[in-house]
Structure 1
């Protein structure tokens, strides 16, 4: 397990401990990056290949705007889980408070303490999972907002009859 690898590296010095911790941290974020990039890429492919058309089959929205719409819909799809994420995120503090109440009541030993410790561990795990989902939806929302900004500036630029070459490559 990564924790045991880091613990084993503490025997050789602080530099290897820091490096192994950084390496394990970076490895743990790979799957989240792949999922976020995959969801954005999937929406780009879907809205690039299948244009938005009217009843006669004529394309009514340019491809760039349709792709941005698809990315925004991906973000909204992730944000529909917000209620579930908030509920799961609240589990950690609730179990932690239950453990604190048990300690104040003098029930910090025996079966009750073991149960509360395991609930606290589960609460920490669910908190970590919900933070990942929240960060993923924030990244997708930021991509959609940046695309919306690009579209709005393009509309203003076309309205002012300023060619792109003069603004970017001047």
Structure 2
């Protein structure tokens, strides 16, 4: 019995030595990898460093032909003024194929549709609703309900690329809750 305890003790000591050796080797490999990776990153950092650009970016969405990008029928922006049937918004407008933030004047008529849309609710197919069930994501409003600071989408029935004034057939006020 003493020989089996002696064998177990010897076996445990050799296991401890193996575990200690494996741990030391792992630490050495990790340290060397860290040092080599850091030096490689430092040597390549000078080649890949890029100064932030102050240039404007040309308007051309990925995947579209250039002429298609010039067919704009709506602007999204923040309301800066409401006066009678006129709404002013700050929006990004194309100027010489560059996106520039400008004030856009929107004219409304008696036939302009005004809607408030709750952006926290996803669109739903009306056919999926049970009979009598209501799902209120949007509601009709008047121009008098539009306030400075509201975010809107103004849609035209013509190409308004580069224009800073146009007549809207629909105004959507984007809101959280109705």
Q: TM-score, normalized by length of structure 1?
A: 0.23
Give the structure with higher Rg (CA): 2
Could you say which structure has the greater relative contact order, defined with CA pairs below 8 angstroms and 6 or more residues apart?
2
The structure with the largest helix share of the pair is: 1
Q: TM-score, normalized by length of structure 2?
A: 0.22
The structure with the largest strand share of the pair is: 2
